[in-house]
Amino acid sequence: MHPILIEIGPLRIYSYGFMLALSFWIGILLAARRAAKRGINQDHIYDMSIILILAAVIGSRTLYILTHRADYRTLIDIIALWQGGATFYGGFILAVAGAAVYIRRKRLPFLRVADACAPSIALGFFFTRIGCFLSGCCFGHPTKSILGIVFPPQSPAGYYCAGLAVHPTQLYDSFYGLVMASALLLMDRKSPFAGFTFGMLCVLYGAGRFTIDFYRFYEKSAMVGKLMTVSQLMSLVLIAVGALILGLLSARARKAKGAAA
């Protein structure tokens, strides 16, 4: 793999760090453009993005370390985010909380802002998982499938599964992120009510992550019992939250439509 994308003398640009930065940049631009179409000042998206980036990085890194404790023994290991190692749910939860505080203080319409940002989150998943693949982290179980890939020994995948072909779950996740972003952008064109696109993001991501995790390698510290990972449990919660959002907002929209008639 290629954990270091560019190396010029002492300058090193790591693949994961580059893809993470690229995902934030493209995601912010897309969200700002979509927010403007919803009557929301783009400056709010740019200002809020600072909070989102910090919250996403801290939250995703913290949860990953907690579920992969054996890999992090020193302070350098913990802060070396550019080498890969982040969990979506930690960043997602903290970022939503930070965004909610900002939106409340600025008195913005939460659902419209959430809808504007939803495809960016899915698209960010597409970019960052490519970074994971290049770094050799977030890999899958050993497999004899034609899809299996043997990672070099200096990568996390090569360390845990030396010489074995493993499922490239990073690419599964990345492809699904692209499909999910495309689906959300298409569905958003005929969105029946505010909050629909965000609710669909929760359901689609949760379902995809729950499924792909059956093929992904995890340490024992990331398991809940013997049958489910922490991420799968959180995926079920996210699906339930998304379904609840869609159900409540749909009922409210029908009620409003009936009252208007």
- Tell me: the pLDDT tens digits for 143-194? 999 999 999 988 889 888 999 999 999 999 999 999 999 999 999 999 999 9
Where does the pLDDT of residue 204 fall: very low under 50, low under 70, confident under 90, or very high at 90 and above?
A: very high
Q: What is the pLDDT of residues 40-81, one digit of tens each?
A: 999 999 999 999 999 988 888 777 777 666 666 665 666 666
What is the signed CA dihedral for 40, 42, 43, 44, rounded to 10 degrees? 50
Domain boundaries of the chain, sorted by first residue: 4-195
d(CA 150, CA 169): 13
Cα–Cα dist 199/206, whole Å: 11
pTM of the model: 0.90
Strand partners, 140: 216
For residue 85, what pLDDT is reported? Answer: 62
Q: Please tell me the predicted confidence (pLDDT) of residue 126.
A: 96
Contact 156, 136 (CB under 8 A): yes
| Average pLDDT across the chain, whole number | 89
The answer to whether the CB of 121 falls within 8 A of the CB of 176 is: no
Percentage of the chain beyond pLDDT 70 is: 91
